[in-house]
Homo-oligomer: A and B are copies of this chain.
Amino acid sequence: MAEMSPPIVRTAAELRARVAGWRAAGERVGLVPTMGALHAGHLSLIRLAKAHAGRAVASLFVNPTQFGPNEDFAAYPRDEARDAELLASVGCDLLYAPGVAEMYPEGASTTVTVVGVSEPLDGAARPGHFAGVATVVAKLLLQCGPDIAVFGEKDYQQLQVIRRMVRDLDIPVEILGAPTARADDGLALSSRNAYLTPAERLAAPELHRALAAAVEQLHAGRPVAEVEAEAIARLVAAGFGPVDYVEVRGALDLARLGPGAARGPARILAAAKLGRARLIDNLAV
């Protein structure tokens, strides 16, 4: 019978001791930072970490500093026992689940900020969000010291912010991006899908469909502004609102594309409320 939970540690010191033991045995370590409320998307990241590094550590920490004052920090779904069971089912070797006092002891005063890539899109819609993300991810990487760390492309801008931060601060780790896991109807898996009513759940895949249609239109040569406006109208018609953004941007720096043709790879990204849930999604163009 399978284990019902990987070993759980709650302090950076215990985490470091476990990782040091593996490293002393010549093993490699992959970290998958999560906020819990795990779904098949997270589990695919754990599998990727194990495939690339042998040992997989998941962290579970609902990071208060990346939530705005009117966001869902208090309501964010939490069920550690269920998460631990899911992690065990994919062979996760260790669960690091620190409390807030372990991550932000009294007197904590340091913030990591990334300009540029963190400013548009969710950076504009959620002031302070990416500073919270960059700071907690820097801490988790430096607490664990993994060889690789895996993040999902579902949070595409987050992935680019983290890549930039790791490069700029010379954190010695390789960042792997993993493809977005989707339900059969195309909806990107997200812990926040739990907020959807049954009727909203039926409407939700329209976000992915609108982006997929937009990509086809862009390939057919339609102007970016037209395609973005049509996608927004489509989401509003399906019951989304407000739509924070649907935008085509450079895939690496997330800069606005010039008036001419897109140079280099591009990405279309969207964020919109549907009932109580704020959903995000993105596709390569």
Contacts and interface: CB of A to CB of B under 8 A. Distances in A.
Interface residues of A, number: 28
A33 B139 CA distance: 22
B114 A112 contact: no
A140 to B, nearest CB: 8
Interface string A16-42: 100000000000000000000000000
Contacts of A184: none
A140 B180 CA distance: 35
A158 to B, nearest CB: 14
Interface string A108-122: 111111111100000
A110 B145 contact: no
A214 interface: no
Contacts of A139: 168-170
A172 interface: yes
A143 B171 CA distance: 7
A175 interface: no
Which of A109, A138, A253 has the most chain B CB atoms closer than 10 A to its own CB?
A: A109
A113 B116 contact: no
Contacts of A134: 110
Contact of A112 (B108, B145, B169): B169
Contacts of A112: 110-112, 169
A142 interface: yes
A122 to B, nearest CB: 16
Contacts of A109: 114-117, 164, 168
Interface centre among A113, A114, A145, A165 (most CB of B within 10 A): A113
Interface of A: 12, 16, 107-117, 134-135, 138-139, 142-143, 145, 164-165, 168-172, 253
Given A110-B168, A111-B113, A135-B169, 8 more contacts: A107-B164, A109-B115, A109-B117, A109-B168, A111-B112, A139-B169, A142-B170, A142-B172
